[in-house]
């Protein structure tokens, strides 16, 4: 009788264990993203699928990456472009926009290589460059693959404008996965910031990424609500001449959204497109001659430079009233732009800067972070 009872208990335990295993290979569960459109995350037990649908404009196929705890082997019927065992401990990234996410997640110590390190502005990253912990890899389009292979990263996070980067193909053939990141294609401020959730699964830091993003979102939305209390919407324009063309943000762009959320009137808000408009100086002059503010005037950091470059700049009301602001004065130790590195991750700081510029009475205690007045 005792033997019989032991057999019953054995089969019951075996049944329970089998059910637990079945749970780990059940249906995929989509992890909700609130603003980002270029990737999605699905969970299937211990497996995490990251699908990057928009690594570059007009990409003709999505890329699927399967992440699983170290020691796990996927079954043969899984379809993916690369398999990565996590958490990873050695990483190469290729865009400065990747650095803030690593720093925020507390995993900057995993970064072992970067192409063109002079463009990195993060103080923490620069210390690691100076002490040799982050190795120079050349230029993104032609990474020094010999040095990269010696570093033996577990994954390379790639930035590319198309699928023609032969260096990435060489890296993949060597057995190192290349995972494309398309954060730069997002058109909304919070959409770019939400890409911190793309990085999190590689380090099993999903909960931390959710917390960090929710704080940024909350800060952004609170600032936007403050801006809504403004009694006046000042007029704003942007950009400057490059050779014979004036480039400025299109009406559906990331930059235009900031101006709208700061409760100001961007003079090209009704134009289509998420990139840049290419206009003549005469066209900009006719529309913006009396505008209240001029932001992001290309490379200029002082009024003397602008006057020397084109006397016509002096005729704009924003020039005369000294209402021009630039992000080009906020740079790292080696001249890299902190705006291009950190701004996509911290849209709340950009919005607060713009609200202070357009409506100083609403945020009197704010100290400008990215945008500074021209000298």
Structural domains of the chain, with CATH: 28-206 (3.40.50.1980), 229-373 (3.40.50.1980)
Q: What is the pTM of this model?
A: 0.90
Is pLDDT at 285 greater than 90 in this prediction?
Answer: yes
Closest CA to 202 of 89, 96, 369: 89
Provide CB contacts within 8 A for 10, sequence distance 6+.
none
Is pLDDT at 336 greater than 70 in this prediction?
Answer: yes
Give the confidence band of 20 by pLDDT, cuts at 50, 70, 90: very low
Is pLDDT at 176 greater than 80 in this prediction?
Answer: yes
Give the confidence band of 141 by pLDDT, cuts at 50, 70, 90: confident
Give the confidence band of 25 by pLDDT, cuts at 50, 70, 90: low
Q: Quick: pLDDT tens for 211-259.
A: 999 999 999 999 999 999 999 999 999 999 999 999 999 999 999 999 9
* Backbone φ, ψ for residue 290 (5° rounding): -105, 15
Query: Where are the strands (E) in the chain, listed by range?
Result: 29-31, 39-44, 47-52, 63-69, 82-86, 91-93, 111-114, 135-136, 138-139, 142-143, 155-158, 178-180, 235-238, 240-242, 245-249, 265-266, 276-279, 293-295, 324-326, 372-373
Query: Going by DSSP bridges, is the β-strand pair 138-139/63-69 parallel, antiparallel, or unpaired?
Result: unpaired
The whole-number pLDDT of residue 4 equals 40
Is pLDDT at 8 greater than 60 in this prediction?
Answer: no
Is pLDDT at 5 greater than 80 in this prediction?
Answer: no
According to DSSP, residue 317 is labeled H
- The whole-number average pLDDT for the span 318-333 is 96
């Amino acid at each position: 009788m005792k033997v019989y009872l032991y057999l019953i208990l054995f089969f019951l335990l075996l049944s329970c264990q089998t059910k637990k295993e079945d749970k780990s290979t059940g249906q995929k569960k989509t992890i909700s993203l609130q603003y980002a459109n270029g990737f999605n995350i699905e969970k299937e037990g211990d497996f995490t699928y990251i699908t990057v649908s928009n690594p570059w404009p007009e990409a003709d196929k999505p890329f699927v990456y399967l992440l699983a705890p170290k020691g796990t082997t996927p079954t043969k019927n899984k379809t993916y472009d690369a398999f990565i065992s996590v958490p990873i401990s050695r990483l190469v990234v290729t865009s400065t926009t990747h650095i803030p996410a690593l720093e925020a997640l507390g995993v900057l110590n995993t970064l072992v290589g970067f192409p063109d390190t002079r463009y990195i502005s993060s103080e923490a990253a620069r210390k690691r460059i100076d002490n040799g912990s982050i190795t120079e890899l050349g230029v993104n389009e032609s990474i020094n693959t010999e040095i990269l292979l010696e570093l033996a990263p577990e994954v390379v996070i790639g930035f590319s404008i198309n699928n023609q980067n032969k260096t990435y193909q060489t890296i993949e053939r060597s057995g190192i996965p290349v995972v494309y990141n398309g954060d730069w294609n997002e058109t909304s401020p919070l959409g770019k910031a939400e890409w911190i959730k793309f990085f999190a699964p590689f380090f099993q830091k999903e909960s931390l990424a959710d917390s960090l993003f929710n704080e940024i979102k909350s800060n952004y939305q609170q600032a936007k609500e403050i801006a809504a209390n403004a009694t006046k919407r000042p007029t704003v324009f942007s950009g400057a001449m490059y050779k014979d063309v004036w480039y400025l943000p299109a009406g559906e762009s990331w930059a235009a959204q900031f101006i709208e959320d700061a409760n100001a009137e961007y003079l090209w808000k009704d134009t289509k497109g998420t990139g840049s408009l290419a206009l003549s100086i005469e066209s900009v002059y006719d529309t913006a001659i009396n505008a209240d503010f001029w932001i992001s005037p290309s490379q200029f950091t002082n009024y003397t430079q602008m006057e020397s470059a084109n006397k016509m700049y002096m005729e704009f009301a924003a020039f005369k009233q000294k209402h021009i602001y630039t992000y080009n004065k906020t740079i790292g130790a080696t001249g890299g732009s902190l705006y291009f590195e950190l701004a996509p991750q911290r849209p709340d700081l950009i919005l607060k800067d713009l609200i202070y510029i357009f409506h100083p009475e609403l945020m009197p205690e704010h100290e400008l972070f990215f945008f500074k007045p021209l000298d």
